C-alpha cells in the first residue's frame, strides 16, 4: 500500500508539532516546515519519517523552493496543513501598518502561497488541505484586529479552495482552535484573559495541542472523505455560547 504523506507548516513547536506526531503515529511521512531553523532541526532530529524544510511561508521564493523540495522528498502530497501563524494583539487604534502586514503576511499570505504552490501535487494525489484559523476569526474582540481579520480571511480562503478544487477531488477544511497554552498564545494571554476564557468556555479550560491535532488529522483522513468547505471550532464550546471576552 502507498505510504501517505503530509506537509505541516509551523511544525517546529505547538499545534504543528503535535499534529506532526499524530500523522507519524498513523504511519504517514511528514515534511516539517518552519522558519525557525534551530528548533526545526532539533525536533526533526528526534523523529523518524520526517524531512525538515526551512521556509518562511510569507516569502514567495521560499515557498516555491519548499514546495519543490517537499514534492521531491515525499513523492506525493496527501495532506497540507497550513498551521504557521503569528499573533499581535491590539485594537485598530493601536495597530500600525507594519504590525498589520506582519500578521497578514504569515497568517493569510502564507496560506495562499503554500496552497497555491502545492495545488498541483494535491490535485495529483486527490489530497486534503486543512487551514488553521482561530475563534478570533469567527468573533470580533477588542484585543486583536490584525490577527482576527487574518483568520477571517483564512476561513474564506478555505471555502474558496473547497469550491474551486472539489472537482479535482481535493478537500479543504478549516479548524478554529480555542485557546491552547503554546508560545504564541502565552506571549499575550494575561491572567485576566486566561480567567475570562475559563469563564466563557463551557468546558472551563484551555485545549491541548493534541486535541487540536486530532481534529486536523481526522479532517485529512479518508474518514472525512465527504467533508469539505467546513469550519470546525475546536474550542471547548466557546463559539456556541456568545459569551464575550474583555
Ligand atoms: P506556536 O508559536 O507555538 O507555533 C507556531 C510555529 O509557526 C512556530 O514554530 C513558528 O516558528 C512558526 N512560524 C511562525 N511564522 C512563520 C512563518 N512566517 N513561516 C514559517 N513558520 C512560521 O503557535 P501555535 O499556538 O502552535 O499556533 C499554531 C496555529 O494555531 C497558528 O496559526 C495560530 O494562529 C493558531 N491558533 C493558536 C491558538 C492558541 O491559543 N495557541 C488559538 C487559535 C489558533
83-136 pLDDT, tens digit each: 999 998 788 999 999 999 999 999 999 999 999 999 999 999 999 999 999 999
CB 110 within 8 A of CB 84: yes
| Residue of 9, 54, 184, 194 to test ligand 1 pocket, by largest number of atoms within 8 Å of CB | 184
pLDDT per residue as tens digits for the range 133-178: 999 999 988 778 999 999 999 999 999 999 999 999 999 999 999 9
Kindly state the DSSP code that residue 127 receives in the 8-state scheme.
Answer: -
Residue 56, ligand 1, Cβ within 6 A: yes
Quick one: cell of 113? Answer: 502561497
b (16+ CB within 10 A) / e for 127-156: bbbbbbbbbbbbbebebbbbbbbbbbbbbe
Of 141, 118, 174, nearest to 243 by C-alpha is 141
Enumerate the β-bridge partners of residue 54: 34
- Whole-number Å distance, alpha carbon 35 to ligand 1 midpoint, is 11
104 lines ligand 1 (CB under 6 A): no
Distance 128 CA to ligand 1 centre (A): 20
Ordered structural domains, the chain, with CATH: 5-180+210-237 (3.40.50.720)
CA dihedral sign of residues 136, 142, 147, 149: positive
Is the CB of 193 inside a 6 Å radius of any atom of ligand 1?
Answer: no
Question: What's the 119 CA to ligand 1 centre distance in angstroms?
Answer: 22
Our answer on whether the CB atom of 110 is closer than 6 Å to any ligand 1 atom is: yes
Cβ(11)–Cβ(20) below 8 Å: yes
**How many degrees, rounded to 5, is the angle at CA 159 between CA 157 and CA 160?**
60
pTM of this structure: 0.98
Q: What is the DSSP letter of 4?
A: P
Amino acid at each position: 500500500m502507498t505510504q501517505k504523506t503530509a506537509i505541516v507548516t509551523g511544525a517546529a513547536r505547538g499545534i504543528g508539532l503535535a499534529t506532526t506526531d499524530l500523522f507519524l503515529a498513523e504511519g504517514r511521512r511528514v515534511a516539517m516546515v518552519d522558519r525557525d531553523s534551530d528548533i526545526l532541526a532539533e525536533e526533526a532530529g528526534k523523529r523518524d519519517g520526517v524531512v525538515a524544510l526551512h521556509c518562511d511561508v510569507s516569502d514567495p521564493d521560499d515557498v516555491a523552493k519548499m514546495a519543490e523540495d517537499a514534492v521531491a522528498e515525499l513523492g506525493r502530497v496527501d495532506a497540507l496543513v497550513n498551521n504557521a501563524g503569528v499573533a499581535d494583539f491590539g485594537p485598530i487604534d493601536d495597530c500600525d501598518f507594519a504590525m498589520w502586514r506582519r500578521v497578514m503576511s504569515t497568517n493569510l499570505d502564507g496560506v495562499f502561497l503554500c496552497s497555491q504552490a502545492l495545488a498541483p501535487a494535491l490535485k495529483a494525489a486527490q489530497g486534503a488541505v486543512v487551514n488553521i484559523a482561530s475563534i478570533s476569526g469567527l468573533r470580533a474582540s477588542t484585543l486583536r484586529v490584525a490577527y482576527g481579520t487574518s483568520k477571517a480571511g483564512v476561513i474564506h480562503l478555505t471555502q474558496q479552495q473547497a469550491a474551486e478544487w472539489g472537482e479535482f477531488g481535493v478537500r479543504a477544511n478549516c479548524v478554529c482552535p480555542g485557546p491552547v497554552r503554546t508560545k504564541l498564545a502565552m506571549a499575550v494571554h494575561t491572567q485576566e484573559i486566561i480567567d475570562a476564557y475559563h469563564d466563557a468556555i463551557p468546558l472551563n479550560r484551555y485545549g491541548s495541542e493534541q486535541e487540536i491535532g486530532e481534529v486536523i488529522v481526522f479532517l485529512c483522513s479518508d474518514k472525512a472523505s465527504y467533508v469539505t468547505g467546513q469550519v470546525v471550532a475546536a474550542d471547548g464550546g466557546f463559539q456556541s455560547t456568545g459569551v464575550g471576552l474583555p
